[in-house]
C-alpha cells in the first residue's frame, strides 16, 4: 500500500481530519488573506478612491482565476477517483493536461477581461478617476496570470499527494511574500495601486515555482508525463469542475451587480462598505473551502475504492467544522462591525454608523451558510456534480438576483439583506437535496 493509500484508506477519520483539514484551512486562509490585507493597505495608504477602484476590479480579476480553479478542482476530483481505482498512469496524464490547460485558459480570460474593463466600469456607473485606479490594478495582474494562476492549481495537487502540511507552509509563504512586497511598494516607496497588484503577483509567482519543483523532479505521487489534449479528459475535467466555476463566476456576477446598484444608491462609500465585507468574506470562505478541499481527495479516494461509509464519516467531520467556523465568524462580525470597517478605511462618524448597520446585517448570512456549502462540497467530492451545480447557482446567482429584484424598491437598506436572505433560501434547498438525493446514495 502506497503512502497516499495508507493516509486516505488506513488512517482513522478523526486523525485524518486533524492532519488534513486544520492545516488545510489555515493554509487556505493564509493563501487568500493577502487579498484582504492588500485592500487594507490600499485603503490606509492610498485612500477611498483607490480602495473602491480595487474592489470594482476584484470581481473581474477573480473570474480569470476562477477558470484555473475550475480546472484544478475538476481535475482533482477525477484524479482522486482514478487513484482510488488504481489507474495511476491515467491520473498522471490528467494532471499534466490540467496544468497546461489552466495556464492557457486563465491567461485568455484575463486578457479579454482587461480589454473590456474600461467599457464595463463605465456601464456600471464609475467615473474616470475610479476607472483609472481599477484598470491599473487589473492590468498588472494580467501580466503575471500565466504563472500566478497555477499557485491555486498546485495547491490542490499537493493535497492529492498527501502533502497537506507542505501546502499549508507554501500558503503561509505566499502570504508573507505578498505582504512584504506590498509594504515595500506602498509604505516605503509610496507607489500606487498598480504596485499593490505587483506585490501580490510576485508573491504568487515565486510560490508557484517552489510548489512546481517537487512535481518536476518526480518526487510526488503525481508526475508530469507526455500527453495529448484528449477531448475526453478535458470534458471530464470541465464537467467535475463546473460547480466550482459556476459558483465563482456567479459570485463575481453578483458582486458586479451589487456594486452597480450600490454606486447608484449610495456612491463610493456604499461600494467601500460592501468591499470591506467582501474582504472579510474572502477570509471566511477560504477557511470553509480549506476544510473540505483538504479532505476532498480522501473522500473521492474512498468513494472510488468503494469505501462509501468511510467517505461519509470523513464528510461528517467537515460539516461540524464548517458549522463551528461560520458561527464563530458570525458572532465576531455582529459584535465588532465598526472595528472591522475601521481597519480598512478612516471615515467620519456618519460613514462608521452606516458601515456598522450594513455589516451587522450582512454578517447574519454565516449563521446558515455552512449548510449549503457542506452539501455542495460533498456532492462535488464524490462526482455528483448535478446537485453541486444546482447549489452553486442558487447560492451565488439565482437567489441573490431574486432578492435584488424583490428588494429593489427598498433602496440601500434592502441591498444589505440580499446576502443573508439568499443564504437562508439556499440552505433550505440544500437540506431538500441532501435528504432526497445524497442520503439515498450513501445508503446504497
The answer to whether the CB of 27 falls within 8 A of the CB of 290 is: yes
- Measure the CA–CA gap between 13 and 157, rounded to whole angstroms: 21
The answer to whether the CB of 423 falls within 8 A of the CB of 365 is: yes
**Burial class for 410, CB neighbours closer than 10 Å (0-12, 13-18, 19+):** exposed
Query: DSSP assignment, residue 98?
Result: H
The answer to whether the CB of 324 falls within 8 A of the CB of 287 is: no
Structure confidence by residue, pLDDT tens digits, 188-230: 998 999 999 999 999 999 999 999 999 988 888 888 888 776 6
Dihedral sign for Cα atoms in the order 284, 287, 293, 299: negative
Those residues of the chain that have pLDDT short of 70 are 1-9, 24, 27-28, 30-32, 34-35, 229-230, 232-233, 243, 247, 346-349, 383, 385, 436-444
Structure confidence by residue, pLDDT tens digits, 348-373: 667 788 888 898 999 999 999 888 88
Q: What is the pTM of this model?
A: 0.69
Q: Would you state the pLDDT for residue 50?
A: 87
Which residues neighbour 137 within 8 Å (Cβ) at sequence distance 6 or greater? 53, 54, 57, 61, 193, 194, 196, 197
**Over the range 188-223, which residues count as b (16 or more CB within 10 Å of their CB) and which as e?**
eeebbbbbbbbbbbbbbbbbbebbbebbeeeebbbb
Q: Would you state the pLDDT for residue 65?
A: 85
Q: Would you state the pLDDT for residue 1?
A: 45
- The span from the first CA to the last CA of the chain, in angstroms, equals 27
Amino acid at each position: 500500500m502506497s503512502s497516499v493509500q495508507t493516509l486516505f484508506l488506513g488512517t482513522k477519520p478523526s486523525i485524518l481530519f486533524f492532519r488534513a483539514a486544520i492545516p488545510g484551512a489555515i493554509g487556505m486562509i493564509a493563501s487568500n488573506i493577502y487579498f484582504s490585507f492588500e485592500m487594507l493597505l490600499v485603503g490606509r495608504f492610498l485612500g477611498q478612491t483607490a480602495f473602491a477602484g480595487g474592489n470594482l476590479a476584484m470581481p473581474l480579476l477573480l473570474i480569470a482565476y476562477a477558470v484555473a480553479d475550475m480546472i484544478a478542482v475538476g481535475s482533482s476530483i477525477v484524479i482522486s477517483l482514478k487513484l482510488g481505482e488504481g489507474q495511476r498512469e491515467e491520473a498522471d496524464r490528467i494532471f499534466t493536461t490540467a496544468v497546461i490547460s489552466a495556464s492557457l485558459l486563465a491567461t485568455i480570460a484575463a486578457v479579454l477581461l482587461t480589454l473590456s474593463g474600461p467599457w464595463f466600469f463605465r456601464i456600471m456607473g464609475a467615473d474616470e478617476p475610479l476607472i483609472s485606479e481599477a484598470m491599473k490594478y487589473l492590468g498588472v495582474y494580467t501580466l503575471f496570470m500565466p504563472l500566478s494562476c497555477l499557485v491555486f492549481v498546485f495547491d490542490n495537487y499537493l493535497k492529492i499527494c498527501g502533502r497537506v502540511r507542505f501546502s499549508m507552509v507554501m500558503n503561509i509563504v505566499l502570504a508573507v511574500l505578498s505582504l512584504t512586497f506590498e509594504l515595500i511598494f506602498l509604505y516605503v516607496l509610496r507607489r500606487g495601486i498598480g504596485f499593490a497588484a505587483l506585490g501580490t503577483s510576485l508573491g504568487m509567482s515565486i510560490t508557484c515555482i517552489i510548489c512546481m519543483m517537487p512535481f518536476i523532479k518526480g518526487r510526488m505521487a503525481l508526475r508530469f508525463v507526455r500527453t495529448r489534449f484528449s477531448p475526453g479528459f478535458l470534458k471530464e475535467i470541465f464537467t467535475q469542475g463546473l460547480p466550482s466555476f459556476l459558483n465563482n463566476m456567479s459570485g463575481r456576477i453578483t458582486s458586479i451587480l451589487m456594486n452597480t446598484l450600490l454606486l447608484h444608491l449610495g456612491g463610493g462609500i456604499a461600494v467601500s462598505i460592501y468591499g470591506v465585507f467582501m474582504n472579510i468574506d474572502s477570509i471566511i470562505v477560504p477557511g470553509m473551502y480549506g476544510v473540505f478541499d483538504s479532505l476532498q481527495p480522501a473522500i473521492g479516494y474512498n468513494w472510488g475504492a468503494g469505501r462509501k461509509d468511510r467517505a461519509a464519516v470523513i464528510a461528517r467531520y467537515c460539516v461540524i467544522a464548517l458549522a463551528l467556523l461560520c458561527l464563530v465568524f458570525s458572532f465576531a462580525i455582529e459584535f465588532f462591525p465598526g472595528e472591522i470597517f475601521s481597519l480598512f478605511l478612516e471615515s467620519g462618524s456618519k460613514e462608521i454608523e452606516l458601515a456598522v448597520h450594513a455589516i451587522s446585517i450582512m454578517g447574519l448570512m454565516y449563521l446558515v451558510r455552512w449548510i449549503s456549502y457542506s452539501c455542495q462540497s460533498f456532492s462535488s467530492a464524490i462526482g455528483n456534480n448535478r446537485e453541486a451545480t444546482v447549489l452553486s447557482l442558487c447560492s451565488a446567482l439565482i437567489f441573490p438576483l431574486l432578492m435584488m429584484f424583490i428588494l429593489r424598491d427598498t433602496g440601500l437598506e434592502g441591498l444589505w439583506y440580499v446576502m443573508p436572505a439568499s443564504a437562508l433560501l439556499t440552505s433550505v434547498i440544500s437540506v431538500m437535496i441532501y435528504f432526497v438525493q445524497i442520503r439515498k446514495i450513501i445508503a446504497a
